[in-house]
Copies of this chain bind each other. A is one copy, B any other.
Amino acid sequence: MGTKQDIEEGAEFIPKFDDNGLISAIAQDSQTGQILMVAYMNRQALDMTIQTGYATYFSRSRQKLWKKGEQSGHVQKVEQILVDCDQDCLILKVSVDAGQCHVGYRSCFYRALKKNTDKKLKFIADKVYNAQKTYRE
């Protein structure tokens, strides 16, 4: 545990994991700045990401480590890891070669709220690969 001063103004990396032992991580395309996805890491996933240079997350639904791309081949090569002021959120600057969303899009953020509504979404991207083919058993 560091003081508020240490955490916010210091040069020591003191990532703060929540009550479930997780920290959120945003994968951002290092070339374009596009936000690709948001996922969670436990301590082990973060260590593996740092050691291997490829993004590894912790799957909350499957409750296990998940190397991004282990099934799809769509890995994330980590160029840089940023941390925010209170050290409870990370950005991974990644380079990727294909769609990153399991639905088939480059980014998980493929829909935007329509103007003057709070209920309707519009699609703002096209699918870039065949997810059903990629993820079939």
Give A residues with C-beta under 8 Å from B: 8-13, 24, 26, 28, 32-35, 37-38, 47, 50, 80-86, 89, 91, 101-103, 105, 108-113, 117-124
Name the contact of A83 in the complex, choosing from B83, B84, B105, B111 (C-beta under 8 A).
Answer: B111
Beyond A82-B113, A83-B109, A83-B111, list 13 extra A-B contacts (CB 8 Å): A24-B38, A26-B26, A32-B33, A33-B33, A35-B35, A38-B89, A50-B118, A82-B111, A83-B113, A83-B121, A84-B108, A85-B102, A85-B103
B113 close to A85 (CB less than 8 A): no
- Count the copies: 2
Determine whether the beta carbon of A80 is less than 8 Å from that of B113: yes
Q: Is the interface of A mostly helix, strand, loop or mixed?
A: mixed
A112 lies within 8 A of B81 (CB):
yes
Residues of B within 8 A of A102 (CB): 85
Asked if A103 contacts B24 (CB within 8 A), the reply is: no
